[in-house]
């Protein structure tokens, strides 16, 4: 009887491998198209057609539709009334509102973490991340390990949200930060040479310490206020890039999608 089952097992195995391969190709195509949009290869308002896009990404039309649907959910594409998708354009106000929304949501998460209380293990993890963030700064005020700081900063924000204990808030923050210029590390990677951004990191790190202090002391209102103020750093960096150093727009993910 075991011999009789072998063809079925082989068939299932082949099907699993095929599905895994398809999933890998779709994930690669998703990353590639997202990067092309964020880098400005497809300007805002560009309509995307399945056939040429499938050829560009070297996948079939079915996963292309899946990829475009995913990017529509992320907010990078608009679904057109008559079918198909177009690259979304954003106004400066859209970018500001996205950052403000993240600040409101993260502030709420920090208040909940403080009011509900965080376990000793959770506090230790927060302090450990804080210490690793501190280590990104050298004694020379202008020297910062941007790559490490960017990764650890994202981890810090994610942990604080997780410690709120609210899956609803966490889900909404994930939705709000899908737009790249709204993420906590939007203005970090690769911009160590920008003095205004370097200075903002020191302010942000001071706020990280205050946030951990407020959560530890279970000061909900203070934690929420700090969370909202913390997001304002990204807004100030956005204002600087758009109004004082527009050449930076080409280097910050997603800012090329801003319409005038």
Q: What is the pLDDT of residues 194-226, one digit of tens each?
A: 677 778 888 999 999 999 999 999 999 999 999
Instruction: Tokens for 19, please give them.
Output: 């599905």
Instruction: Tokens for 258, please give them.
Output: 């801003």
pLDDT at 206: 96
Task: With CA atoms as reference, report the closest residue to 211 among 153, 137, 151.
Answer: 153
Q: Sort 124 into a burial class: Cβ within 10 Å, 0-12 / 13-18 / 19+.
A: exposed
Instruction: Tokens for 70, please give them.
Output: 């995913």
Q: How far apart are CA 62 and CA 54, in angstroms?
A: 9
Q: Sort 87 into a burial class: Cβ within 10 Å, 0-12 / 13-18 / 19+.
A: buried
Contact 64, 57 (CB under 8 A): yes
Q: What is the pLDDT of residues 122-131, one digit of tens each?
A: 999 999 999 9
Task: With CA atoms as reference, report the closest residue to 75 among 28, 39, 38.
Answer: 38
Q: What is the pLDDT of residues 74-122, one digit of tens each?
A: 889 999 998 889 999 888 999 999 999 999 999 999 999 999 999 999 9
Please, which pLDDT band fits residue 185 given cuts at 50, 70 and 90? confident
How crowded is residue 201: how many other Cβ atoms within 10 Å of its Cβ?
Answer: 21
The secondary structure element, H or E, covering residue 86 is strand 85-87
Highest mean pLDDT among 41-50, 87-96, 105-114, 251-260: 105-114
The pTM score is: 0.79
Alpha helices in the chain (DSSP H): 2-38, 50-57, 61-74, 92-116, 120-134, 146-163, 167-176, 195-216, 220-239
How crowded is residue 74: how many other Cβ atoms within 10 Å of its Cβ?
Answer: 16
Phi/psi class of residue 57: alpha, beta or left (left: φ > 0; alpha: ψ in -120 to 50)?
Answer: alpha
- Is the model more confident about 141 or about 181? 181
Give me the mean pLDDT over the 165-192 stretch: 82
């Amino acid at each position: 009887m075991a011999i009789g089952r072998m063809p079925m097992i082989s068939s299932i195995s082949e099907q699993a491998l095929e599905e895994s391969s398809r999933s890998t190709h779709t994930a690669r195509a998703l990353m590639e198209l997202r990067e092309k949009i964020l880098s400005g290869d497809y300007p805002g308002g560009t309509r995307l057609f399945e056939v040429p896009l499938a050829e560009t990404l070297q996948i079939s039309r079915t996963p292309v539709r899946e990829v475009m649907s995913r990017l529509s959910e992320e907010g990078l594409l608009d679904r057109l009334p008559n079918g198909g998708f177009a690259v979304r354009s954003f106004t400066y106000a859209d970018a500001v509102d996205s950052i403000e929304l993240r600040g409101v949501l993260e502030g709420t998460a920090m208040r909940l973490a403080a009011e509900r209380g965080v376990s000793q293990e959770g506090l230790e993890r927060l302090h450990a991340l804080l210490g690793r963030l501190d280590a990104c700064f050298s004694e020379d005020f202008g020297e910062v390990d941007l790559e490490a700081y960017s990764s650890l900063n994202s981890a810090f924000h994610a942990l604080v949200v997780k410690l709120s204990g609210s899956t609803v808030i966490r889900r909404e923050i994930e939705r709000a930060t899908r737009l790249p210029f709204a993420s906590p590390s939007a203005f970090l990677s690769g911009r160590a040479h920008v003095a205004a951004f370097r200075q903002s990191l020191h302010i942000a790190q001071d706020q990280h310490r205050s946030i951990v202090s407020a959560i530890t002391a279970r000061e909900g209102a203070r934690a929420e206020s700090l969370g909202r103020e913390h997001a304002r750093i990204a807004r100030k960096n956005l204002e600087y890039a758009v109004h004082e150093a527009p050449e930076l727009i080409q280097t910050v993910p997603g800012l090329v999608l801003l319409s005038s």
